[in-house]
Structure 1
């Protein structure tokens, strides 16, 4: 049986990073040892500078100890067989060369320094024999002869310095890459998921899914706390919805009885006044429920033929005697939730017809892929200082546009546009009145299989 997430042993971020760093060091040491065994050949002492210096010193000593020329030739043959080119010449055969010391390789200079510290070795500088290559080393044997070494084993920079450095740097970069991958997967990705979940909470269908809680102990604790907080918020919202449903049910029953009793009143003026009051209370109740309920998430996004949708809304208002007209293209398709958009536009138009005699609904596609729906009326308008407050819920601007209701029409429209990644703005209309702009993204990339919602929305 798999252990539950709460009973699983988790390490903190600090412990995980320390453990990973320790394992990385151990892995690096193992990899370097393996690289040294597999990639590097064992050092050949016959190719080392120390070996060359020792052979030069031995050759000088043996030639000096040779009793005759045959013994000296035998010593020189033995030295040549070891890979060192040497020749016994007379001192008079050497030529003075002052410029040859400038281009001497540093490995040859190192060999000369090592020979110079030996007691019985006398180096001849500033002279050369034959072609006199820069790597030539000349050692005096006696007062008449000298040994000319054309070359001695030199230090190979690539094999001795560069190659190990490249391998070590590669291992260090590999371990840094592993640490970066761990950081991205174990720390950054869970934090990004939490940020996306927090941003999508209340706006997405997947917002109810619990966070996985993967990652170090601290991140798991944050994920668990966020899950608990979201569960508590959702419980509060569900309780609020149930409470509003109960209030709506309990209020609609006496309102219906009041309507039936009012219709039996013989006095026409009193009956009409009571019926208007009952209708106003019903509208206020419906408006409050529309603002507080959260059913827009249950509606799936679809392709909407926005021109037909707005024409239908205008025709509905025109059928009941309001002067509402539509201006815009014959066809404009966007992505959104049709019932929610219809409710937002209807609320704005309803607010406009209450305060103006002429209402114009216009549709246009502005720059940067934004669709603008504007509702303009010729009413008293809203002062610029009060326009921000007009979008707040339960705010009634009596001195500007007084009417019945709780003042939730524009607030509901604002919430709907926010859930479409859009917005709402209030602007003065010319020459008088108010212009309300609803903006939403065009979303040019739409699923080809999605159906286009027709003009009439239930």
Structure 2
């Protein structure tokens, strides 16, 4: 039997985030050491032997031996000339010409201190301290030859600061820069990218059909564990939503059937007043049931976005209310096309207009598009209005502010409209109307909208 590739892929061991970072850091350090050695071999020139402090110390010791072993002044001069030709400034002077120093010499180079320390440990070399000869540069070294003479060295060879410190430092910083780039690249690819994908998937969950796909199991072990947990959570949420949908379907069927029987029985009642009152109560219960089911049933996701002729949609809604005797008028352009879900937008506007005609005698539905790409649908009535302090609560589900604006229903009309506008990346706002009443503004983005035609004056639909 051929093994399942997905199962085999899941059984492969995954390195943890800590392990990956430690491994990458170790490999980066090893790689950096290799690069540093290669750079030192290729780009750093080794110091000249004749410029090292050890070479200068050896020549100083040789000069002392030659001068002490010389039989005449000609041999001494020959030895000193040889030293000068090699780059060492040396002079044979009597001890009486040396000057005592009042205080120690300051700013002595490190290589000169190192040369003096090495000379002081040699048995046959007597290094003189606290004296100077002539101009006495900081690098001057005086060695006693015998009881009457001394050798004065003005500049023992030393390494330059650039070749000794700066060049290795530059190479080291360059290696550190490379390692930092490698670590940043790893962080972006292995950590930030999977986390960004999870954030986008979590934000899109329940808002688009593409969000139904499970999260990919990529990245370190900890990232994969988070992805598995999110996938499991999404599966549980989908199961709960499916159960809720089935429950709503059952409630809708089980409650509508007895309501229908009650309506049929009420219509056979002989007393006209009692029959009318019972039918009104049954209609009110049916509307409340429909309103509650519409709020709980999220059909917005199932409806696919399409191009909407928004002006015709609003005029149709106004005509529907005008046909039953309400004074509802439309004001806006003759043609404005945008993208959205037609049934959902129609339900949102209908809920707002229905709320307006309950509490006002005249309602105006206006449409406009702003320069910043936003469509504004406003429904204004001349009713009692809502105080500004209570406007935020009016958008909450199952909230009835007062009896003046709560005649029938559960107070879900504005809440349903608000949820629909959120699904369209828009919003809803309540504001006072002038001179009295309430004005509800529904805003949504103008997606691929066509140019609006000339506006038409307000008319009763």
Query: In which range does the TM-score fall when normalised by the shorter chain?
Result: 0.7 to 0.9
| Contact kept? 1:328, 1:362, Cα under 8 Å | yes
Report the equivalent of 2:134. Answer: 128
Q: For 1:273-298, what per-residue CA distance to the aligned partner results, in whole angstroms no more than 9, with x for missing partners?
A: 56655554554444334323323224
Q: Which residue of 2 aligns with 1:111?
A: 115
Aligned 8 A contact 1:360 1:377 in 2: yes
TM-score (norm 1): 0.77
CA distance change for structure 1 residues 31 and 341 in 2, over 3 Å: closer, same or farther? same
User: 1:417·1:424 contact (CA, 8 Å) conserved in 2?
Assistant: yes
Aligned pair count? Answer: 447
CA contact (8 A) 1:116 1:123 kept: no
In structure 2, the CA distance between the partners of 1:138 and 1:306, relative to structure 1 (3 Å rule), is farther
SS at match of 1:435: strand
2:68 maps to 1:64: yes
Tell me how large the CA RMSD over aligned residues is.
Answer: 4.4
- Give the SS at the match of 1:85: coil
1:218 corresponding residue in structure 2: 222
Query: Which residue of 2 is the match for residue 376 of structure 1?
Result: 380
Quote the offset at 1:353 in angstroms. 0.8
C-alpha deviation, 1:331, in angstroms:
7.1
User: Shift of residue 418 of structure 1?
Assistant: 2.0
- Name stretches of at least 5 consecutive residues in structure 1 with no aligned partner: none
Q: Does 1:55 align with 2:51?
A: no
Q: Is the 8 A contact 1:280 1:405 kept in 2?
A: yes
C-alpha separation in 1, matches of 2:26 and 2:15: 15
Q: How far is the alpha carbon of 1:358 from its aligned partner?
A: 1.2
Deviations 1:373-420 (A, max 9, x none): 332222233456654443333445562323333432112101112223
1:426 aligns with 2:430: yes
Distance 1:60 1:331 in 2: 109
**C-alpha separation between the residues in 2 aligned to 1:104 and 1:10?**
59
SS for the counterpart of 1:373 is strand
Quote how far apart the aligned CAs of 1:302 are.
Answer: 5.8
Q: What secondary structure sits across from 1:374 in the alignment?
A: strand
Q: Residue 110 of structure 1: CA displacement? A: 4.5
Confirm or deny that 1:324 pairs with 2:328: yes
Residue in structure 1 matched with residue 458 of structure 2 by the alignment: none
Alpha-carbon distance, 1:9 to partner: 1.7
1:270 CA drift (Å) = 6.4
Q: How does 1:273-352 map to 2 (within 5 A)?
A: 276=280, 279-301=283-305, 309-327=313-331, 336-352=340-356
Displacement of 1:233 after TM fit? Answer: 1.2
The 1:399/1:254 distance shift into structure 2, 3 A limit, reads closer
The within-5 A match list for 1:96-175 is 105-108=109-112, 110-112=114-116, 114-115=118-119, 118=122, 120-123=125-128, 125-128=131-134, 137=141, 139=143, 141-142=145-146, 147=151, 149=153, 151-175=155-179
Unaligned runs of 5+ in 2: 456-461
Residue of structure 1 in register with 2:240 after alignment: 236
C-alpha distance in 2 between matches for 1:400 and 1:56: 112
Q: Are residue 408 (structure 1) and residue 399 (structure 2) matched?
A: no
C-alpha spacing 1:105/1:26, structure 2 compared with 1 (3 Å): closer
Range with bigger deviation, 269-278 or 294-303: 269-278
Q: Normalised by the size of structure 2, how large is the TM-score?
A: 0.77
* Greater shift in the superposed pair: 317-326 or 255-264: 255-264
